Protein backbone atom coordinates (compact mmCIF):
# COMPACT_ATOMS: atom_id res chain seq x y z
CA UNK A 1 0.00 0.00 0.00
CA UNK A 2 2.83 2.44 0.77
CA UNK A 3 4.30 2.22 -2.73
CA UNK A 4 0.82 2.61 -4.22
CA UNK A 5 0.25 5.67 -2.04
CA UNK A 6 3.47 7.34 -3.19
CA UNK A 7 2.92 6.52 -6.87
CA UNK A 8 -0.62 7.89 -6.75
CA UNK A 9 0.52 11.02 -4.93
CA UNK A 10 3.25 11.68 -7.49
CA UNK A 11 0.68 11.40 -10.26
CA UNK A 12 -1.75 13.72 -8.48
CA UNK A 13 0.95 16.25 -7.62
CA UNK A 14 2.18 16.39 -11.20
CA UNK A 15 -1.33 17.46 -12.19
CA UNK A 16 -1.87 19.85 -9.27
CA UNK A 17 0.90 22.21 -8.19
CA UNK A 18 -0.84 22.85 -4.86
CA UNK A 19 -0.19 19.32 -3.54
CA UNK A 20 2.55 19.01 -0.89
CA UNK A 21 3.99 16.02 0.98
CA UNK A 22 5.05 16.67 4.58
CA UNK A 23 6.65 14.06 6.82
CA UNK A 24 8.19 13.69 10.25
CA UNK A 25 11.64 12.26 9.53
CA UNK A 26 10.80 8.91 7.97
CA UNK A 27 10.11 7.13 4.71
CA UNK A 28 13.05 8.46 2.74
CA UNK A 29 13.49 5.41 0.52
CA UNK A 30 9.74 5.15 0.12
CA UNK A 31 9.49 8.80 -0.88
CA UNK A 32 12.29 8.71 -3.47
CA UNK A 33 9.87 8.79 -6.45
CA UNK A 34 8.18 11.92 -5.07
CA UNK A 35 11.45 13.64 -4.14
CA UNK A 36 12.96 12.93 -7.56
CA UNK A 37 9.87 14.14 -9.40
CA UNK A 38 8.93 17.18 -7.26
CA UNK A 39 11.65 17.92 -4.67
CA UNK A 40 10.42 21.45 -3.99
CA UNK A 41 7.11 20.12 -2.65
CA UNK A 42 8.56 17.64 -0.15
CA UNK A 43 8.98 18.95 3.40
CA UNK A 44 10.61 17.06 6.26
CA UNK A 45 9.87 18.74 9.60
CA UNK A 46 12.00 16.30 11.61
CA UNK A 47 10.91 14.20 14.58
CA UNK A 48 8.15 16.64 15.52
CA UNK A 49 4.79 15.22 14.50
CA UNK A 50 2.71 17.83 16.34
CA UNK A 51 4.60 20.55 14.51
CA UNK A 52 4.07 18.55 11.29
CA UNK A 53 0.31 18.89 11.70
CA UNK A 54 0.61 22.54 12.68
CA UNK A 55 2.75 23.36 9.64
CA UNK A 56 0.49 21.29 7.39
CA UNK A 57 -2.61 23.04 8.71
CA UNK A 58 -1.11 26.45 8.00
CA UNK A 59 -0.21 25.43 4.47
CA UNK A 60 -3.66 23.94 3.98
CA UNK A 61 -5.31 27.18 5.10
CA UNK A 62 -3.15 29.06 2.57
CA UNK A 63 -4.59 27.07 -0.33
CA UNK A 64 -2.29 24.06 -0.53
CA UNK A 65 -3.51 20.46 -0.43
CA UNK A 66 -1.23 18.81 2.11
CA UNK A 67 -0.55 15.14 2.74
CA UNK A 68 1.06 14.71 6.18
CA UNK A 69 2.70 11.30 6.58
CA UNK A 70 3.89 9.40 9.63
CA UNK A 71 3.43 6.06 11.41
CA UNK A 72 -0.17 5.46 12.52
CA UNK A 73 -0.11 6.51 16.17
CA UNK A 74 2.43 9.28 15.63
CA UNK A 75 0.42 11.11 12.97
CA UNK A 76 -2.84 10.78 14.91
CA UNK A 77 -2.81 10.18 18.67
CA UNK A 78 0.35 12.20 19.29
CA UNK A 79 -1.18 15.04 17.29
CA UNK A 80 -4.80 14.75 18.36
CA UNK A 81 -5.07 18.27 19.78
CA UNK A 82 -3.55 19.79 16.64
CA UNK A 83 -5.82 17.72 14.40
CA UNK A 84 -8.91 18.68 16.40
CA UNK A 85 -8.25 22.33 17.23
CA UNK A 86 -6.17 23.46 14.28
CA UNK A 87 -6.99 21.35 11.23
CA UNK A 88 -10.53 20.01 11.67
CA UNK A 89 -12.06 23.01 13.41
CA UNK A 90 -10.74 25.31 10.68
CA UNK A 91 -11.52 22.85 7.84
CA UNK A 92 -8.00 22.97 6.46
CA UNK A 93 -7.16 21.09 3.29
CA UNK A 94 -5.19 18.31 4.92
CA UNK A 95 -4.98 14.55 4.48
CA UNK A 96 -3.30 12.82 7.41
CA UNK A 97 -1.59 9.55 6.48
CA UNK A 98 -1.35 6.86 9.13
CA UNK A 99 1.17 4.41 7.74
CA UNK A 100 1.38 1.05 9.46
CA UNK A 101 -2.26 0.64 10.45
CA UNK A 102 -3.18 -2.05 12.95
CA UNK A 103 -0.33 -4.47 13.63
CA UNK A 104 1.80 -3.58 10.61
CA UNK A 105 4.68 -2.72 12.96
CA UNK A 106 3.86 -5.66 15.19
CA UNK A 107 7.42 -6.40 16.32
CA UNK A 108 7.88 -2.85 17.66
CA UNK A 109 5.29 -3.20 20.37
CA UNK A 110 2.25 -1.38 21.68
CA UNK A 111 3.60 2.12 21.00
CA UNK A 112 3.61 1.30 17.27
CA UNK A 113 0.36 -0.70 17.16
CA UNK A 114 -2.31 1.56 15.65
CA UNK A 115 -5.49 0.00 17.04
CA UNK A 116 -7.48 3.01 18.27
CA UNK A 117 -6.93 5.55 15.49
CA UNK A 118 -10.01 4.71 13.42
CA UNK A 119 -12.30 5.07 16.43
CA UNK A 120 -10.78 8.34 17.63
CA UNK A 121 -10.55 10.07 14.26
CA UNK A 122 -14.06 8.93 13.37
CA UNK A 123 -15.35 10.79 16.45
CA UNK A 124 -14.02 14.17 15.30
CA UNK A 125 -16.52 16.30 13.35
CA UNK A 126 -15.90 16.84 9.67
CA UNK A 127 -13.12 14.29 9.10
CA UNK A 128 -13.33 11.73 6.30
CA UNK A 129 -11.85 8.41 7.52
CA UNK A 130 -10.58 5.89 4.95
CA UNK A 131 -8.94 2.48 5.43
CA UNK A 132 -8.42 0.76 2.04
CA UNK A 133 -8.09 -3.01 1.80
CA UNK A 134 -5.39 -3.19 -0.89
CA UNK A 135 -3.05 -1.25 -3.14
CA UNK A 136 -5.72 -0.55 -5.76
CA UNK A 137 -8.12 0.96 -3.24
CA UNK A 138 -5.21 3.00 -1.86
CA UNK A 139 -4.49 4.44 -5.30
CA UNK A 140 -8.12 5.36 -5.81
CA UNK A 141 -8.38 6.90 -2.35
CA UNK A 142 -5.32 9.12 -2.88
CA UNK A 143 -6.66 10.35 -6.22
CA UNK A 144 -10.02 11.28 -4.73
CA UNK A 145 -8.68 12.76 -1.51
CA UNK A 146 -6.26 14.91 -3.50
CA UNK A 147 -9.27 16.56 -5.10
CA UNK A 148 -11.37 16.77 -1.93
CA UNK A 149 -11.75 19.66 0.48
CA UNK A 150 -11.26 19.62 4.24
CA UNK A 151 -9.57 17.15 6.57
CA UNK A 152 -9.29 13.43 5.91
CA UNK A 153 -7.47 10.49 7.43
CA UNK A 154 -6.04 7.72 5.25
CA UNK A 155 -4.83 4.63 7.07
CA UNK A 156 -2.56 2.33 5.06
CA UNK A 157 -0.47 -0.78 5.67
CA UNK A 158 2.67 -2.18 4.11
CA UNK A 159 1.09 -4.88 1.99
CA UNK A 160 -1.93 -7.12 1.59
CA UNK A 161 -2.59 -10.15 -0.62
CA UNK A 162 -5.88 -8.75 -1.90
CA UNK A 163 -6.09 -7.57 -5.52
CA UNK A 164 -9.53 -6.07 -6.07
CA UNK A 165 -8.85 -3.74 -8.97
CA UNK A 166 -9.89 -6.27 -11.61
CA UNK A 167 -13.36 -6.81 -10.15
CA UNK A 168 -14.87 -3.88 -12.02
CA UNK A 169 -16.27 -2.35 -8.83
CA UNK A 170 -15.75 1.41 -8.71
CA UNK A 171 -14.21 3.17 -5.74
CA UNK A 172 -16.23 6.08 -4.39
CA UNK A 173 -15.59 7.75 -1.05
CA UNK A 174 -18.48 6.92 1.27
CA UNK A 175 -19.66 4.01 -0.89
CA UNK A 176 -18.74 0.44 0.12
CA UNK A 177 -17.51 -2.11 -2.41
CA UNK A 178 -19.22 -5.51 -2.45
CA UNK A 179 -16.40 -7.92 -3.33
CA UNK A 180 -18.45 -11.13 -3.07
CA UNK A 181 -22.14 -11.90 -3.11
CA UNK A 182 -23.70 -14.21 -0.54
CA UNK A 183 -26.92 -14.96 1.32
CA UNK A 184 -25.95 -16.66 4.58
CA UNK A 185 -23.78 -13.96 6.14
CA UNK A 186 -22.30 -10.57 5.33
CA UNK A 187 -18.71 -9.97 6.44
CA UNK A 188 -17.90 -6.27 6.49
CA UNK A 189 -14.27 -5.26 6.85
CA UNK A 190 -11.90 -2.31 6.63
CA UNK A 191 -8.21 -2.44 5.83
CA UNK A 192 -5.92 -5.31 4.86
CA UNK A 193 -7.49 -7.76 7.32
CA UNK A 194 -10.35 -8.01 4.82
CA UNK A 195 -8.13 -10.49 2.96
CA UNK A 196 -8.88 -12.95 5.77
CA UNK A 197 -12.60 -12.42 5.24
CA UNK A 198 -12.17 -13.27 1.57
CA UNK A 199 -10.38 -16.49 2.52
CA UNK A 200 -13.17 -17.35 4.97
CA UNK A 201 -15.76 -16.86 2.24
CA UNK A 202 -13.95 -19.49 0.18
CA UNK A 203 -13.94 -21.91 3.13
CA UNK A 204 -17.63 -21.33 3.74
CA UNK A 205 -18.34 -22.04 0.09
CA UNK A 206 -16.71 -25.44 0.53
CA UNK A 207 -19.34 -26.13 3.20
CA UNK A 208 -22.19 -25.08 0.96
CA UNK A 209 -22.55 -21.65 2.59
CA UNK A 210 -22.22 -18.28 0.90
CA UNK A 211 -20.79 -15.09 2.37
CA UNK A 212 -21.17 -11.59 1.09
CA UNK A 213 -17.85 -9.75 1.56
CA UNK A 214 -17.92 -5.96 1.78
CA UNK A 215 -15.00 -3.55 1.81
CA UNK A 216 -16.17 -0.65 3.98
CA UNK A 217 -13.12 1.38 3.02
CA UNK A 218 -14.73 4.62 4.18
CA UNK A 219 -15.73 4.57 7.83
CA UNK A 220 -16.87 8.16 7.68
CA UNK A 221 -19.08 9.02 5.91
CA UNK A 222 -20.42 5.50 6.34
CA UNK A 223 -22.40 3.68 3.65
CA UNK A 224 -25.57 3.07 5.68
CA UNK A 225 -27.40 1.73 2.62
CA UNK A 226 -24.95 -1.17 2.23
CA UNK A 227 -25.52 -2.19 5.85
CA UNK A 228 -29.29 -2.00 5.44
CA UNK A 229 -29.01 -4.15 2.30
CA UNK A 230 -27.09 -6.73 4.33
CA UNK A 231 -29.82 -6.68 6.98
CA UNK A 232 -32.43 -7.33 4.32
CA UNK A 233 -30.61 -9.82 2.10
CA UNK A 234 -28.45 -11.96 4.44
CA UNK A 235 -29.08 -13.85 7.68
CA UNK A 236 -26.20 -12.53 9.83
CA UNK A 237 -23.58 -9.78 9.89
CA UNK A 238 -19.97 -9.94 11.08
CA UNK A 239 -17.51 -7.04 11.15
CA UNK A 240 -13.72 -7.42 11.13
CA UNK A 241 -11.19 -4.65 11.73
CA UNK A 242 -7.61 -4.34 12.93
CA UNK A 243 -8.76 -1.79 15.45
CA UNK A 244 -10.60 -1.74 18.75
CA UNK A 245 -14.22 -2.84 18.47
CA UNK A 246 -15.13 0.21 20.56
CA UNK A 247 -16.20 3.00 18.25
CA UNK A 248 -14.56 1.73 15.07
CA UNK A 249 -16.11 -0.10 12.13
CA UNK A 250 -18.00 -2.55 14.32
CA UNK A 251 -19.43 0.24 16.43
CA UNK A 252 -20.45 2.20 13.35
CA UNK A 253 -22.24 -0.80 11.83
CA UNK A 254 -23.92 -1.57 15.16
CA UNK A 255 -25.25 1.98 15.31
CA UNK A 256 -26.89 1.64 11.90
CA UNK A 257 -28.39 -1.74 12.80
CA UNK A 258 -29.75 -0.51 16.14
CA UNK A 259 -31.32 2.60 14.64
CA UNK A 260 -32.87 0.65 11.76
CA UNK A 261 -35.21 -1.26 14.09
CA UNK A 262 -34.26 -4.53 12.38
CA UNK A 263 -32.20 -7.37 13.75
CA UNK A 264 -30.01 -10.27 12.66
CA UNK A 265 -27.32 -12.17 14.56
CA UNK A 266 -24.39 -9.77 14.72
CA UNK A 267 -20.84 -9.76 16.06
CA UNK A 268 -17.79 -7.48 16.00
CA UNK A 269 -14.27 -8.91 15.64
CA UNK A 270 -11.25 -6.77 16.46
CA UNK A 271 -9.25 -5.72 19.47
CA UNK A 272 -11.18 -6.14 22.69
CA UNK A 273 -10.91 -3.56 25.48
CA UNK A 274 -7.20 -4.28 26.07
CA UNK A 275 -3.81 -2.90 25.12
CA UNK A 276 -1.67 -5.14 22.94
CA UNK A 277 0.98 -6.58 25.21
CA UNK A 278 2.46 -9.10 22.76
CA UNK A 279 4.89 -8.52 19.90
CA UNK A 280 5.24 -10.44 16.67
CA UNK A 281 4.39 -10.33 12.99
CA UNK A 282 1.13 -8.82 11.79
CA UNK A 283 -0.32 -12.24 10.99
CA UNK A 284 0.74 -13.62 14.37
CA UNK A 285 -0.89 -10.77 16.26
CA UNK A 286 -4.07 -11.06 14.21
CA UNK A 287 -4.33 -14.69 15.27
CA UNK A 288 -3.37 -13.96 18.87
CA UNK A 289 -6.04 -11.29 19.25
CA UNK A 290 -8.81 -13.19 17.48
CA UNK A 291 -8.73 -11.62 14.03
CA UNK A 292 -7.18 -14.49 12.06
CA UNK A 293 -8.83 -16.71 9.48
CA UNK A 294 -9.79 -19.40 12.00
CA UNK A 295 -11.41 -16.86 14.32
CA UNK A 296 -13.40 -15.28 11.50
CA UNK A 297 -14.51 -18.68 10.24
CA UNK A 298 -15.58 -19.80 13.72
CA UNK A 299 -17.51 -16.58 14.34
CA UNK A 300 -19.18 -16.85 10.93
CA UNK A 301 -20.34 -20.42 11.51
CA UNK A 302 -21.73 -19.56 14.94
CA UNK A 303 -23.65 -16.58 13.59
CA UNK A 304 -25.08 -18.63 10.75
CA UNK A 305 -26.11 -21.31 13.23
CA UNK A 306 -27.87 -18.69 15.37
CA UNK A 307 -29.75 -17.49 12.32
CA UNK A 308 -31.00 -20.96 11.38
Would you please indicate which residues are annotated as catalytic (active-site) residues? 49
Burial level of 238, CB count in 10 A (0-12/13-18/19+)? buried
Task: Report yes or no: 159 and 114 within 8 Å, Cβ to Cβ.
Answer: no
d(CA 132, CA 63): 27
Task: Report yes or no: 9 and 141 within 8 Å, Cβ to Cβ.
Answer: no
Task: Provide the 3-class DSSP secondary structure of residue 269.
Answer: strand
CA 241 to chain centre: 9
Residue 67: how many other CB atoms lie within 10 Å: 25
Task: Report yes or no: 192 and 133 within 8 Å, Cβ to Cβ.
Answer: yes
Q: Which residues have C-beta within 8 Å of that of residue 16, sequence separation ≥ 6?
A: 65, 146, 147
Task: Report yes or no: 189 and 241 within 8 Å, Cβ to Cβ.
Answer: yes
Residue 221: how many other CB atoms lie within 10 Å: 11
Task: Provide the 3-class DSSP secondary structure of residue 219.
Answer: strand
Outline where 102-245 has alpha helix (H).
Answer: 117-122, 135-147, 194-206, 224-233
**Among 247, 182, 232, 191, CA closest to 211:** 182
E strand segments, the chain:
19-23, 42-44, 65-71, 94-99, 128-130, 151-156, 177-180, 185-189, 211-215, 218-220, 237-244, 266-271
Amino acid sequence: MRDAFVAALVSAAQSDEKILLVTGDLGFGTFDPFVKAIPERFINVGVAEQNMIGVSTGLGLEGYKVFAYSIGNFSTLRCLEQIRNDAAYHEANLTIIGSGGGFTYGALGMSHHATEDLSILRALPGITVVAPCDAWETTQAVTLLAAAKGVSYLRIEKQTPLRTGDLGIPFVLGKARRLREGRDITIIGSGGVLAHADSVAQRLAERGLSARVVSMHTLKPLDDAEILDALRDTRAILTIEENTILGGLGGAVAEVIAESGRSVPFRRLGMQDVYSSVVGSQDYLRQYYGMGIDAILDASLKLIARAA
